[in-house]
Amino acid sequence: MKKTIADLRSAFIAGTSTPVKAIEAALAVIKEQDGEIHAFLDVYDDVVEAAEAATALYKEKGNDTPPLLGIPVALKSNILIKGKRVTAGSKILEKYTAVYDATIVKRLREAGAIFIGATNMDEFAMGGSTENSAFGPTRNPVDTARVPGGSSGGSAAAVAMGAVPVAIGTDTGGSIRQPASFCGLVGFKPTYGAVSRYGLIAMGSSLDQAGPLTNSVTDAELVHNVMAGADPMDATTITEDTYSEVPLKETYTFGVPRHFMADGVDEEVLQAFDAHIELLRAAGHTIVDIELPLFEQGLAAYYIVMPAEVSSNLARFDGIRYGLSAEADNLLGVYEKSRAEGFGKEVKRRILLGTYVLSSGYYDAYYGKAELVRTMMRRELAETFKKVDIILTPTAPTPAFKLGEKEDPLAMYRQDIFTVPVNLTGVPTLSFPMGTVEQEGKQLPVGIQYIGPLGGDKRLFSIGKKVYDTR
């Protein structure tokens, strides 16, 4: 049985367990399983001391302690934590040590969390299976022949194998939600700007948000609340009154964009989705069909906007400022060789694509158009949220696929059909398991997405707790 933060904390307060025992248990799980799963790139050696201090504090103060005191937390390896190696899953940062804490790390630390290690990921968060890591893939604890999803696959696997009750991921186009779906977890992508990006290694700055992967919605809310809030170090963070109040209700109107699920979605995933809708109806909610024609353009727009931002963000990895530096006769040679040796295939593909769509002859035709589509998608969504409270889609069109199954990059990109429109429009989305589908004798989890209006994060937690945590 996988533990929640809530379970652990009450055991710590009651004295039936201690942070030292929890950390020892986490390390034992990692020792036993991570040889095969490979969720972690690094496991830190200073955790027992931190756990001893937390144990002493519980003895002294019990309930009157910070909300995450002594809770083991895993961090995706693109989140800066001072004095520790942070790789972004890339050879170019293989030996890079962070010199400061990300704002979210600082806040989690203040709340008492114990960082147990850094988790594996697709290189620079580009991918949907964790197979693009320069350090080898992660396997799905549910079925080790399958991927855990990505790019936060290491974080998802760390929670799914029972090492930690929470791991932090980042989501640029689905990288928290899709691994949550593949591994049977809760994953949350906040409203853009709700969580500071200061100290996250950027992929697409207008799309990136950090969020939790957990075993319950209650835990996801707790961890999100610790991390969230305006930050002077990130000018894109929002405040309480950036968006108008999104009221909580007893029953909601859910919109279902059926047309959007017509192609390429597994039959069993649709059956699980329909069963979930019946459950909502039985609980008194209203379900209506909606049209979101522009959402179908989301994938195309994302695979223009995202590489454009990637090409710009990754320009800083030049062999001089961070990480790997190749020897060459002159400065240009250092740039070229360091990048050629340091970046993997997918990263190079996206830098090329991004540079192309931003070049003067193609900017208007590609980047400009994609940004226009994005603006129109936002309007379409704003109109839709006048009629419905929450939009529902499956999180991913399939359950976890097998390692090596999606070698064609376009096949991999199609996995993102339901997740990328959310990042393009900035809205919050909660993913949690809606059931399992059977494949080759194994029960594989599949997730559902509850998409809320801008600033509607609380609404998603409130309904998510009712539907999922009390199931």
The site for ligand GLN (CB under 6 A) is made up of 125-128, 151, 171-175, 203, 306, 416
Nearest one of 402, 393, 147 to 270, comparing CA atoms:
393
Query: Which lies closer to ligand GLN via its Cβ, residue 115 or residue 413?
Result: 413
3-state secondary structure of 232: coil
d(CA 437, CA 26): 29
Query: Which lies closer to ligand GLN via its Cβ, residue 175 or residue 216?
Result: 175
Q: Which of 151, 181, 311, 431 is catalytic?
A: 151
Strand partners, 140: 143
Query: Which lies closer to ligand GLN via its Cβ, residue 202 or residue 381?
Result: 202
Query: Which lies closer to ligand GLN via its Cβ, residue 44 or residue 188?
Result: 188
Q: How far is the CB of 171 from ligand GLN (least distance, A)?
A: 5
d(CA 160, CA 142): 8
Query: Which lies closer to ligand GLN via its Cβ, residue 65 or residue 178?
Result: 178
d(CA 311, CA 388): 37
Q: How far is the CB of 74 from ligand GLN (least distance, A)?
A: 17
Q: How far is the CB of 133 from ligand GLN (least distance, A)?
A: 13
Give the CA diameter of the chain: 71
- CA quadruple 453, 456, 457, 460: dihedral positive or negative? negative
76 is catalytic: yes
Query: Which lies closer to ligand GLN via its Cβ, residue 171 or residue 318?
Result: 171
**Phi, psi for residue 383 in degrees, rounded to 5:** -60, -45
Q: Where are the beta strands (DSSP E) in 231-274?
A: 253-256
Q: Who's near 144: CB < 8 A, 6+ residues apart? A: 36, 37
Q: How far is the CB of 94 from ligand GLN (least distance, A)?
A: 20
Closest residue to ligand GLN using C-beta atoms: 175
Q: How far is the CB of 88 from ligand GLN (least distance, A)?
A: 11
Query: Which lies closer to ligand GLN via its Cβ, residue 182 or residue 260?
Result: 182
Take residue 180 and report the two structure tokens written for it: 């949550």
- DSSP at 468: I
Q: Which of 3, 76, 91, 189 is catalytic?
A: 76
Q: Who's near 64: CB < 8 A, 6+ residues apart? A: none
Q: How far is the CB of 209 from ligand GLN (least distance, A)?
A: 9
Q: How far is the CB of 41 from ligand GLN (least distance, A)?
A: 17
Q: Which of 90, 175, 181, 216 is catalytic?
A: 175
Helical H segments across 241-390, by residue range? 267-282, 298-313, 331-342, 345-358, 369-384
Proportion of the chain in helix, strand, coil states, percent, rounded to 5: 45, 15, 40
17 is catalytic: no
311 is catalytic: no
Contact 26, 167 (CB under 8 A): no
Amino acid at residue number 267: E
What is the set of active-site residues?
A: 76, 151, 175
